Amino acid sequence: MAALPQSLELTRKLIAFDTTSRNSNLELINFVRDYLHAHDVQTTLIPDQTGKKANLYGTIGADDRPGICLSGHTDVVPIDGQNWSSDPWALTEKAGKLYGRGSCDMKGFLGCVLAAVPQFSKTRLGTPLHLLFSFDEEVGCLGVRRALSVIKDLPVKPKGCIIGEPTLMQVAIAHKGKKSMRAHVHGKECHSSLAPKGVNAVEYAALAIAHLRSMGRRFAAEGPFDHDYDVPHTTVHTGTIQGGTALNIVPKDCTFAFEFRHLPVQDPEALYAEFKRYVETELTPEMKKIAPETGFGFEQISAFPGLDTPEDSEITTLAKNLTQANGTTKIAFGTEGGLIQEIDIPTVVCGPGSIEQAHKPDEFVDIAQIAQCEAFIERLRGKLAA
């Protein structure tokens, strides 16, 4: 089974737009909007506060009844520091693979969706098809929140959603949530020969990080567990740390970033509260005994909820039917699915390619996966037809 030339050409055009999250995505969004309008699809542009980025939402078919939404993000991760064998902003076909930034995550899926639009527009649909194109997914699922704030108040909203993140066209019904934080440790500097008179921000950061590690070890040993995941428990991770100016100065400042990747059954706020309670009861009092102005400060970097869709839900049953497979899976990486589910739109994840290829140099998607995705969407058209 070979992918359709129209799908590949549309994917080629999408990849040519450098929509790295730090950039505007409006050029791509305007291209998609013009394309949809050319096929009589009415759309709603949902911009961010700056007007430099936007989501796009459209419906094919009657707007007086709930339909199925196909959703994907338009932004991609940076190519900075990566060694590519070909131009990352030009789709390169080689040995049955399509190379380019976003080919897998997730412009290949968006190309398949757009390629199907002409046939959907010509079909008398008993159930409408909704399309949602978002921005800034790669930096914390930020952009879609603005779109969902609009969609949730529409007279009619989708009754189910399929996000085309790369799952090798398997139906994923769940993924972990994430809460990432940055801690600022404020100490008191002095000459290192007088260390007891200072408050060592690096050392107190180390104690806090050690507590985070002990939390992670506890989850690994005691759970809760869900063995459908590769890592069947909540994880706690410290990723960066900066502090101190010289060895002979007790450091005044230290900053570290940490995250919880939690099973959907666990409350990330409770996890964070447990850690913060340790800091406030065990560490901060010690620091303030020496210098009252010292202590910890925290700021959230990003957060998104986990996804947990029942095996017997309507959207799961539909997606399994469209893949012509009975099984489902749970994925390690996060998506916008948990946020979409929060506004009562049941959601699954199913798209072409492997997450193993995403974010890397020479990112690719197999053409066979694109063909499977096209067949999936064509079966969906048959299901939605009146």
Q: Active-site positions?
A: 75, 137
Structure tokens at 278: 């340790």
Is the bond preceding residue 106 a cis peptide, omega within 30 degrees? yes
Structure tokens at 94: 């080689």
Cβ atoms of 42 and 58 closer than 8 Å: yes
Cα first-last separation, the chain: 28
Task: Look up residue 302 and give its amino acid.
Answer: S
3-state secondary structure of 66: coil
Q: Do strands 129-134 and 68-73 pair parallel, antiparallel, or not at all (unpaired)?
A: parallel
Q: Which residues pair with 257 in a beta bridge?
A: 182, 240
Q: Element (H or E) spanning 81, and its range?
A: none
Separation CA 54–CA 266 (nearest Å): 32
Separation CA 379–CA 323 (nearest Å): 9
Structure tokens at 10: 């549309």
